Amino acid sequence: EVSTDDPETAFCTLANREELNSEDDSIHHCLYQFTRNETLAETNKLLCDVCTQRHCGPKNNIKGEKKYVYTNAKKQMLISLAPPILTLHLKRFQHAGFNLRKVNRHIKFPEVIDLAPFCTAKCKNVAEGNTKVLYSLYGVVEHSGTMRSGHYTAYVKKRAMNNHLSDLVLRGQSQALETEPVKGQWFHISDTHVQPVSVSKVLSSQAYLLFYERLL
């Protein structure tokens, strides 16, 4: 998609991402790295149709071969539409020679996360003037084992009906002003076994999938 946004504001976010105090082993650091500003240069230069027409004209060269112009560019992936349900999938494997190795280290994640530092300044469904896009954790999937075998378990929060979330899903409306985690009881589910657990137990798990619902 060709963007005609002002280059000075095209890479702006709803909140200052440089003020994030993101530890290396945290979900904030993962999001920061995933949405970082990248420079495309040398072998990664961008094929630019506008530059090609400007320098070569619409016609082919003498040999009948079309010339293309590549240029340095900046690239950044930001959220342009804040979803009602946020699902974060952690990459828990790394290459070890010709093999894949599972990454078992703990990644810190909060009960309430603010996506504003990772949203474009013109995020479509965020009210003008808002500098927070808050989400509350309600589900975690954990995997134990290796790359070849293992077992999946889940942590799920039982909570009351969220009319605000229904409005977001059905009509895309955001009006609530909650900033605290949605109240409820956490449960650990492993096959047919279900037992209540504390929030500290949930936050200490080795998350593979994280599920958040939008608050604000």
Q: Which domains does the chain have, with CATH numbers?
A: 79-173+180-215 (3.90.70.10)
Q: pLDDT category, 18, cuts 50, 70, 90?
A: confident
Is the pLDDT at 61 greater than 70? The verdict is no
Separation of alpha carbons 39 and 36, rounded Å: 10
Write the CB contacts of 17 (distance below 8 Å, at least 6 apart in sequence): 32, 35, 117, 118
* Model pLDDT, residue 186: 96
Q: Look up residue 18 and give its amino acid.
A: E
Judge whether 157 and 140 are in contact, CB under 8 Å: no
Instruction: For residue 180, give both structure tokens.
Output: 């605290």
Judge whether 79 and 123 are in contact, CB under 8 Å: yes
Q: Look up residue 104 and give its amino acid.
A: N
Reduced to 3 states (helix: H, G, I; strand: E, B; else coil), residue 3 is coil
* Model pLDDT, residue 122: 87
Reduced to 3 states (helix: H, G, I; strand: E, B; else coil), residue 155 is strand
Q: pLDDT category, 105, cuts 50, 70, 90?
A: confident
Over residues 174-200, mean pLDDT: 84
Q: Phi and psi at residue 33, in whole multiples of 5°?
A: -65, -40
Is the pLDDT at 2 greater than 60? The verdict is no
Over residues 99-114, mean pLDDT: 89
Tens digit of each residue's pLDDT (9 = 90 or more) over 31-55: 999 998 888 888 888 888 777 777 7
* Model pLDDT, residue 19: 77
* Model pLDDT, residue 133: 93
CA 132 to chain centre: 15
**Hey, which of 7-21, 136-150, 165-179 has the most confident mean pLDDT?**
136-150
Separation of alpha carbons 139 and 158, rounded Å: 10
Q: Look up residue 208 and give its amino acid.
A: Y
Q: Average pLDDT, whole number, for the chain?
A: 83
From 75-89, 140-154, 160-174, the region with the lowest mean pLDDT? 160-174
Tens digit of each residue's pLDDT (9 = 90 or more) over 123-140: 888 888 888 999 999 999
Over residues 24-33, mean pLDDT: 91
Report which of residues 42 and 67 the model is more confident about: 42
Is the pLDDT at 80 greater than 70? The verdict is yes
Looking at residue 103, what DSSP letter applies? -
CA 33 to chain centre: 10
Separation of alpha carbons 147 and 161, rounded Å: 37
Look at strands 38-40 and 73-75 and give their pairing: antiparallel
Strands of 72-130 (E only): list them. Answer: 73-75, 85-89, 93-96, 99-102, 112-114
